Amino acid sequence: MNDWLLRPTAAIDPTARAAARARQRQLTKPPGALGRLEILAEDFAGWQGRAVPRLERVDVCVFAADHGVAARGVSAFPQAVTGQMIANFATGGAAVAVLARAGDARLTVVNLGTVEPLPAAAGVLDLQLAPGSADFTLTPALTPPLLEAALAAGRARVDAAASLFIGGEMGIGNTTSAAAVLAGLLDVAPEAAIGRGTGVDDAGLARKREAIAAGLARHGGDWRALAGPERALAVLQRVGGLEIAALAGAFVAAAQAGVPVLVDGFITTVAALAACAINPGTRDWLLFAHRSAEAGHGRALAALEAEPLLDLGMRLGEGSGAVVALSLLRSALVVHADMATFADAGVADGGGGE
């Protein structure tokens, strides 16, 4: 069963965090002059339990799946693109693959389930749990065993040896599923949760709103009386998707393993919201990379009280925005580790005070 989901998340080390803060004050710069980079170094010190943290290994895992709700005309692209992009991740041509290569991160690609089975391809972990999720306007998106399998598949991709975990996603129609999950978790209207995804026109946006409204009308009664993990799991099962559930499972597992997570865009943030509803301790291990241009992301970020690092107008998903933000984390940790202290460099300090 899903018992593992509720196990406690790892503890943060306050002593290492304080030591990192003390070190920042000794570096040859006015106190606080590196702004948020200083906080990032302190965060990683707390996560890694050492005053001088390092990013030794960054794992990026793209979870892919198809969505039955794509039949409602909610995407600007055909469903076959999911499988085609899986191949593009594996051969290294997709944005996240290019960025991961350049950013010295390890990329894995997991297919949870596409409508058409994939041809055998190197570099893809092809789980094919189901031919995608079902159209949630008609039936629950996932069966309970499928939800469980998807959560476990996400958990299985987390390696405690990683210094950072980045989850990405690919799945035509998944901004609609993610918006439905967001609306279900927060009890907000579909209008507040939707955006244009791959670039739907006004008619497409109306179809998204209608599909989500139909999903909430059909399934909302199944979770409205629930709270906490029960509610989050019910929402994921009724209107979510395989890769969204896998991401939620991965995020909970990362927090349990003591691996910090750099969250990407709209879909991954909704998965993070579900993960935190399932196991609130997960929140302590999440860092938010960027604010996606997808309307609805702001709502999810606000619910998590998250202040993302970047706002670049990106709306791609795949984990791409997180891998872009990775270079900021590397900058934060390298200055923290390698800058000279006032004593080392013989520079007069300001005599204390911040």
Q: Is 315 in the site for ligand NIO (CB under 6 A)?
A: yes
Choosing from 266, 271, 275, 276, the residue that interacts with ligand NIO (CB under 6 A) is 266
The answer to the question of residue 175 lying near ligand NIO (CB under 6 A) is yes
Task: Tell me whether residue 318 is one of the annotated catalytic residues.
Answer: yes
Using CB under 6 A as the binding rule, whether residue 169 contacts ligand RBZ is answered as: yes
Phi, psi of 117 (to 5 degrees): -55, 145
The one of ligand NIO, ligand RBZ, none whose footprint includes residue 171, by CB under 5 to 8 A per kind, is ligand RBZ
Among residue numbers 294 through 313, which ones bind ligand NIO (CB under 6 A)? 294, 297
Asked if residue 77 binds ligand RBZ (CB under 6 A), the reply is yes
User: Which residue among 267, 274, 278, 301 contacts ligand NIO (CB under 6 A)?
Assistant: 267
Q: Can you tell me the distance from the alpha carbon of 307 to that of 318, in angstroms, rounded to the nearest whole number? A: 20
CA angle 139, 141, 146 (to 5 degrees): 125
CB of 258 to ligand RBZ, least distance (A): 28
Cβ neighbours of residue 182 under 8 Å, at least 6 residues apart? 188, 193, 270, 273, 296, 299, 300
Q: Which residue in 83, 171, 265, 308 binds ligand NIO (CB under 6 A)?
A: 265
Told to check if 168 binds ligand NIO by CB under 6 A, we report no
Of 42, 148, 169, 318, which residue is the catalytic one?
318
Question: Which one, 138 or 312, has the nearer CB to ligand NIO?
Answer: 312
Residue (237 or 320) nearer to ligand RBZ, CB: 320
| Measured distance CA(69)–CA(215) in Å, rounded | 10
- For ligand RBZ, which residue has the nearest CB? 197
133 lines the binding site for ligand RBZ (CB under 6 A)? no
The span from the CA of 17 to the CA of 183, in Å, is: 36
Provide the minimum distance between the beta carbon of 2 and ligand RBZ in the complex, in angstroms, as a whole number: 26
What distance in Å separates the CA atoms of residue 113 and residue 235, rounded to the nearest whole number? 19
> At 50, which amino acid appears?
R
Based on CB atoms, which residue is closest to ligand NIO, 157 or 297?
A: 297
Residue with tokens 């001088």: 52
How many whole angstroms separate alpha carbon 265 and alpha carbon 320? 8
Q: Which residue, among 116, 112, 111, has the nearest Cα to 150 in the 3D structure?
A: 112
Nearest to residue 248, comparing CAs of 192, 300, 296? 300
Q: What is Dmax (Cα atoms) for the chain?
A: 71
Q: How many CA atoms lie within 13 A of 166 on its CB side?
A: 34
User: What DSSP state is assigned to residue 285?
Assistant: G
CB of 112 to ligand NIO, least distance (A): 17
The one among 174, 279, 282, 292 contacting ligand RBZ by CB under 6 A: 174
C-alpha–C-alpha distance, residues 97 and 277, integer Å: 30
Q: Of 197, 215, 240, 260, which one interacts with ligand NIO (CB under 6 A)?
A: 197
* Interacting partner of 63 out of ligand RBZ, ligand NIO, none (Cβ under 5 to 8 A depending on kind): none
Residues 53/164, Cβ–Cβ less than 8 Å: no
Residue numbers at the binding site for ligand NIO (CB under 6 A): 175, 197-198, 264-267, 292, 294, 297, 315-317
Active site residues: 318
Binding residues (CB under 6 A) for ligand RBZ: these are: 75-77, 81, 85, 169-176, 197-198, 316-318
